[in-house]
Amino acid sequence: MDRRAFLKLSPEKQPLQQTPPVPQSAAPAAIPQARVAGGIAPYAGIWTADQVTHLLKRTMFGATRADIDYFKGLTMSAAVDLLLNSSSPYVAPTPPINNYGTDPTGIAEGAVWVHSTQPVAGDEADTVNDSRNKSWKAWWFGLMVNQSRSLNEKMTLFWHNHFVTEVQTVKDGRLAWLTNETLRKNALGNFKDLTKAITLDPGMLVYLNGYLNSKEAADENYARELQELFTVGKGPDSKYTEDDVRATARVLTGYRVNFDTCTTYFQTTEHDTENKQFSDFYSSKIISGQTGPLGQNELDALLDIIFAQVECAKFICRKLYRFFVYYTIDAATETNVITPLANLFITNNFEIKPVLSALFKSEHFFDPGNMSCLIKSPIDFVVGMCREFNIQFPATSDYGNLYSAWDVLRDQAATMLQDIGSPPLVAGWAAYYQEPQYHEIWINNDTLPKRNKLSDTLMVSKFNGLSIDPLAFAAAQSNPGDPTQLIEDSLEVLFRMPVSDDTKTFLRNNYLLGGQTNLAYWTNAWTAYVGNPNDAMAKKTVYDKLQALYKGLMDLSEYQLS
């Protein structure tokens, strides 16, 4: 899709001035078999704000002025290394707390509830678990807003969309949170280890009926998704059979969930101890049936068989590419990017960091055709806006209002089609897999106005007590008293779409200079405000102009691009 095509959805939100034409390298129709050039050879081009912001907005949720300035001081390679390694070793965040009031298991308000050893039963179960699930989803939103300079948060969302579970099915808030923690602590680790961990995760065992799988009635639900959605995929080169699904289900018999301790255990009497035969796709391997506790070793043998298929590595690399780079994978990209990344994945025993390092340091990733070409997901839009404008939330000590603030914005993203913790299907959100629209699905005649309404409300008034401070945003730029530089800096943070010099002049003259061309007008107005911030008239003069500028920029459809 032409990255500007979706702008037609909102004719009243046309650009202030015609933007430059799409570079030929970014036009899909120009080169039928090569949308952009280049493979995973290291990028050796310029390292300016454009490249820095591109990297940060793809690997984090939004990019603050401080982030951009910090990463400008690093080399490209050092910047990628920091994003990949700053969360190592992994330190678990403080778990969510009781922000919902009375808890029938005795968890006090303000206390951590996720480690409770008493499942909620009876008439109270649905109400309490709904409150707990709302609690950890708000908590997760807060972690994204307050993320460090790390890829971990973005990868946690990636894996949540890959190894999907839904709170509506899992129900128990403790299990739902535990699945999130499983993804979070393995987000940048080993994919094979993560696959084993999620297979045995209590929440996943409930979600896909694994805890009901027994030798007398093997449940094929997880066995099917393990192959179709989690490992080898269902592409033309993935030729597993229905017999493979049945054999996989038999391997996985016997795993159960202790709902008091939220742990998984192996019930030997429910395990199928017969041999399991696999198809030619899996080299006709046989997993020898094991008895007693040794039956658990069959899972490792199963993963060895699955991960021996090259298609497993390619499937994950394609998903990473669509999530971080672009949704279309043409023949050239398959050859020059996906295949070498998959080989690297296999060579490194399915460690995720070497693959991401090669991708984010590649000439392909920094090709101009891969910049400002993705529509922001709702989470990218809402969390990114919070971070870019440094929206102020209640203090941690005011946890009731803090969780409420996080939750109300999380709910806004949900109304725009992305409810974290509750993907619509086991396949995840359609925007990451549904051909041919992919990320175009995020924008329609319902969701785009909702995005505009939220940004407008945060800018011009308050949304549940939250607001954007245009004065603080301007003050964070390099030289806010210079109207030309302020426009340049503001666009650097907020936009990924190239903006012409004529458009920048238009923004400066019409918003900051009140329709005139005398640059000193803004400089004097800003100086007067800074010199006496308690002067209501001086403050209003600059506040009104900045508010109109930033509201106008976010109303433009280009703000929806990453």
Q: What is the mean pLDDT of the chain?
A: 93
pLDDT at residue 30 above 80? no
Residues 478 and 355 placed together within one structural domain of the fold: no
Of the candidates 11, 229, 234, 187, the residue with the CA atom closest to the CA atom of residue 92: 187
Residue 310 CB: number of other CB atoms within 10 A? 15
Residue 32 has pLDDT above 90, yes or no: no
Q: Pull the structure tokens for residue 200.
A: 């045995």
pLDDT at 5: 52
The residue that leads in pLDDT, 315 or 87, is 315
Q: Over the stretch 429-445, which tens digit does the pLDDT of each residue have?
A: 999 999 999 999 999 99
State yes or no: pLDDT of 258 exceeds 70. yes
Q: Do 71 and 86 form a contact (C-beta atoms < 8 A)?
A: no
Q: Do 362 and 475 lie in a common domain?
A: no
Residue 270 counted as domain residue? yes
Higher pLDDT, 496 or 7: 496
Distance of alpha carbon 68 from alpha carbon 55, whole angstroms: 10
Of 123-132, 271-280, 338-347, 416-425, the least confident: 123-132
Q: Residues 195-249: pLDDT tens digits?
A: 999 999 999 999 999 999 999 999 999 999 999 999 999 988 999 999 999 999 9
For residue 351, tell me if it sits in a domain. Answer: yes
Residue 263 lies in a domain: yes
- What would you measure as the largest C-alpha separation in the chain, in angstroms? 85
Angstrom distance (rounded) from CA 235 to CA 232: 8
Asked if residue 329 has pLDDT above 90, the reply is: yes
pLDDT number for residue 3: 46
Number of domains present in the structure of the chain: 2
> Has residue 518 been placed in a domain?
yes
Which of 210, 299, 277, 280 shows the shortest CA–CA distance to 240?
280
Please check the confidence at residue 17 and state whether its pLDDT lies above 50.
Answer: no
Q: Which two tokens stand for residue 356?
A: 């991401």
Binned at pLDDT 50, 70 and 90, residue 33 comes out as low
Radius of gyration, CA atoms only, the chain:
25
Answer whether residue 139 is part of any domain. no
Angle in degrees, CA 10, 410, 70, rounded to 5: 85
User: Does 356 share its domain with 219?
Assistant: yes
Between residues 405 and 7, the one the model is more confident about: 405
Rounded percentage of the chain residues whose pLDDT exceeds 90:
90
| The two three-digit tokens of residue 184, written as one number | 């979070």
Residue 210 structural domain: 190-326+328-371
Residues 535-554 have a mean pLDDT of 97
User: Would you say residue 336 lies in a domain?
Assistant: yes
Mean pLDDT for 507-536 is 96
Predicted pLDDT of residue 31: 40
Residue 367 has pLDDT above 90, yes or no: yes
Average pLDDT for 548-555: 96
Beta bridge partners of 264: 257
Average pLDDT over residues 78-88: 96
Closest CA to 56 of 357, 386, 360: 360
Residue 83 lies in a domain: no
DSSP 8-state symbol, 263: E
In a domain, 99, yes or no: no
CA dihedral 425, 427, 432, 433 (to 10 degrees): -120
Cβ atoms of residues 220 and 242 within 8 Å: no
Residue 154 burial (10 A CB sphere; 0-12, 13-18, 19+): buried
Mean pLDDT, residues 534-544: 97
Q: What's the pLDDT at 29?
A: 38
Give the tens place of pLDDT for each residue, 311-323.
999 999 999 999 9
Q: How many CB atoms lie within 10 A of CB 509?
A: 19
Q: What is the pLDDT of residue 210?
A: 97
pLDDT of residue 390: 97
Average pLDDT over residues 355-378: 97
Tell whether the model's pLDDT for residue 26 goes beyond 70.
Answer: no
Where does the pLDDT of residue 13 fall: very low under 50, low under 70, confident under 90, or very high at 90 and above? very low
**Exposure pattern of 5-31 as b/e (b: 16+ CB <10 Å)?**
ebbebbeebeebeebeebeebbebeee
pLDDT of 118: 87
Residue 320 to residues 159, 315, 345, 393, Cα–Cα distance (Å)? 10, 9, 12, 32
Q: Which two tokens stand for residue 247?
A: 């054999």
Helix and strand numbers, DSSP H then E, in the chain: 24, 4
